[in-house]
Amino acid sequence: MNSPTSLRKAGMALLALGIVFGDIGTSPLYAFGTALGASGGGDAIAVASLILWTLFLVVMVKYGLLVMRASYEGEGGIFALMALLRETDVFSGRRGKWLAGLLVFGAALLFGDGVITPVISVLSAVEGAGTINPDLEKYEVPVAAGILAVLFLSQRFGTGRLGFLFGPVMLVWFLSLAVLGGLQVWAVPEVLGAFNPVRGFSLLFHDGWVAAAIVGAVVLAVTGAEALYADMGHFGRPAILGAWRFIVFPSLMLNYLGQAALVVQSPAAAENPNLFFLLAPLGGWREALVVLATVATVIASQALISGVFSLTGQAIDLGYFPRFFVKHTSPHTRGQIYIPLVNYCLGAVCLLLLLGFRSSESLANAYGVAVTGAMAVTSVAFCVYVVAVARKPAWVGWLLLVGLLAIDLPLFLSCMSKVLCGGMVPLLLACGVAAVMLTWKRGRTLVHKTMSYGAVSPEELGERLENGEYNRSNCTQVFIVRKLRPESAIANILEQYRRVQIVGEQLVILLLDPGWRNPFSKVEEIRIQPYQGNLWIVTANHGFMVEPDVPEIVRQVEVQSAGALWCPPENTFYIVWHELVLSGKERLMPRWQCRLYAFLSRNVLPGLDYLGIPPERLVILNWMFRI
């Protein structure tokens, strides 16, 4: 047995408790009570049965056994599936465009859900103080607002450090859930009948149309399931599943059974909206539980916030978002990132929702619509992945699709009944995010199409340069490309010549690519490809934790080329380009999309302040496009 490896796995599982399972781990605060209220306060054991089997089918079977096996370089989530599918031809043709649009909207739904989770989690815990002293109810909203503000301000420290602080707290929380529930189960062992799925399904069949409201409330117990997959890049599948199997699921199971046992013993408890806190007696125990629950719900909010960061980073890589500033917060796990703009926007919307709804009961009506929609989209994308990437027979994909949608669609359709009661909020937010992503992707496609018009291959450009078709100046020009797209740099070389009728004697296309082996290395590996006419294509890897030092890379290229390439500092110029977008007479996009894309392109992060380039050696080439 490799004890250091085992200790590392255990440590990662503990960190995952603090980041990944906060949302689903604090669902007992409101899920059982809301579902019991939707059923009319009837069969508590049947309600517990529905919750337990929903947890088992959604988390253990769908995500644990199936969906989480699909990862893109260790990352999970809808965009990770899209990245895997992009390597196939499934996005070609009309059907492919509809599939891509569906996946984008599914990811946008998670953004909509991400603004509700922190608010309902924190507010539901703070409301527990009302079970101790009703006079404290007037302080619930201000206290919740202060807690949310501190939470979002602490994101800059990174999920690894937060997990180190949050993990032990969540371990105490889950053990408390298990103990509080287990004591009630010991007193009322008949609640173990909830393991019989017939008990729960019979409640749905006998309650008619009320069943939709019950299922819509049961969804609250699994709203953090999609975050498990979205956060997979932070800690990895083994750590997440290990924590779920040995700590999270047993604790949740005991607590939901314990709440059912409490109602069986004291039927009047079903009328209390804060049923969970009645598991602990007064006299110091309940007060301690309120404090612990408040801390746990702060941590719960981290699951969706981390998931939103991961989704945004993946969307940037796939070209669906502008290049926001992304800060890597861990040298060991590339998926641990912090995006300041997204963090502050998310925090502002959360505070607005808190002031608008003001109670967890009102927020419960808006909760679940977005995440169940995202879960259904994930099922569709995973089944396409099984056939297109994993190369399984088509009938396997269809069989999986039917089975997964049999779980997801009833949950989603039941939540649609909440649309007019607040569920429209996350849907509208998701529509807004999807509009931004699709507009940016469409605009970038049109811009790249315009830039590539008349472009040539590196071999052809080198041949033209060698044949003296271009006027040359006695300098070295370095064209910087963030992505591995030399064709865009070649387009800029030709555009520059069209404008000023001259190019440098030495032309270097520098492709910057974050490497993995040394996260803090400003220059990790350099590969040089020479062409005719003093044209060079250089691929430079740098550590993903730091911004590259471009002048240092150029100096190393000069040394590595053994004098074939000369780049004197006083005669070397670094060229980047910036887009200016205008609306043309023949619009290639609707007017509103043209204006939105123009706004986004004007405010995109240029990424020039962090490359170590002397200002007097930097040249910005402005491209003007009409779309």
Residue at token pair 């669609």: 409
pLDDT per residue as tens digits for the range 477-536 = 998 887 656 777 888 888 888 888 888 898 998 888 776 556 566 666 788 889 998 999
Residue 267 CA to residue 260 CA, distance in Å, equals 10
Residue type present at position 603: N
| Angle, vertex CA 419, rays to CA 415 and CA 423, nearest 5 | 85
Q: Is 233 helix (H, G, I), strand (E, B) or coil?
A: helix
pLDDT at residue 193, rounded to an integer? 92
Write down the domain spans for the chain: 15-443, 457-626
Dihedral, 120, 126, 127, 133 alpha carbons, nearest 10:
180
Residue with the bigger pLDDT between 524 and 52: it is 52
Average pLDDT over residues 372-401: 91
Residue type present at position 411: L
pLDDT per residue as tens digits for the range 283-329 = 778 888 888 888 887 777 776 777 778 778 778 877 888 877 777 66
pLDDT at residue 363, rounded to an integer? 73
Q: Where are the beta strands (DSSP E) in 75-157?
A: none
Q: Distance from first CA to last CA of the chain, Å, rounded?
A: 62
Residue 495 CA to residue 474 CA, distance in Å, equals 19
Question: How far is residue 151 from each of residues 295, 298, 305, 350, 411, measured CA to CA in Å?
Answer: 11, 7, 10, 11, 30
pLDDT at residue 190, rounded to an integer? 93
What one-character-per-residue DSSP string does 568-585 give? -GGGEEEEEEEEEEE--S
User: Is residue 58's pLDDT more than 90?
Assistant: yes
Average pLDDT over residues 594-603: 80
Residue 532 CA to residue 512 CA, distance in Å, equals 22
Dihedral, 207, 213, 215, 221 alpha carbons, nearest 10:
-130
pLDDT at residue 1, rounded to an integer? 44
Residues 6+ apart with CB under 8 A from 6: none
Residues 6+ apart with CB under 8 A from 292: 172, 173, 176
* Residues 194-214 as b or e (16 or more Cβ within 10 Å = b): beeeebbeebbeebeeebbbb
Query: In terms of CATH, what superfamily is 15-443?
Result: Amino acid/polyamine transporter I (1.20.1740.10)
User: What's this model's pTM, rounded to 2 decimal places?
Assistant: 0.78
- 81 and 232 Cβ atoms separated by less than 8 Å: no
**89-93, 191-195, 331-335, 468-472: least confident range:** 331-335
Most confident by average pLDDT, 72-81, 520-529, 575-584: 72-81
Question: How far is residue 602 from each of residues 176, 485, 606, measured CA to CA in Å?
Answer: 51, 22, 10
Residue 363 CA to residue 31 CA, distance in Å, equals 12
Q: Where are the beta strands (DSSP E) in 371-471?
A: none
Residue 582 burial (CB count, 10 A): 10
- 478 and 554 Cβ atoms separated by less than 8 Å: yes
Residue 80 CA to residue 75 CA, distance in Å, equals 6
Burial of 389 per CB tally in 10 Å (0-12, 13-18, 19+): middle
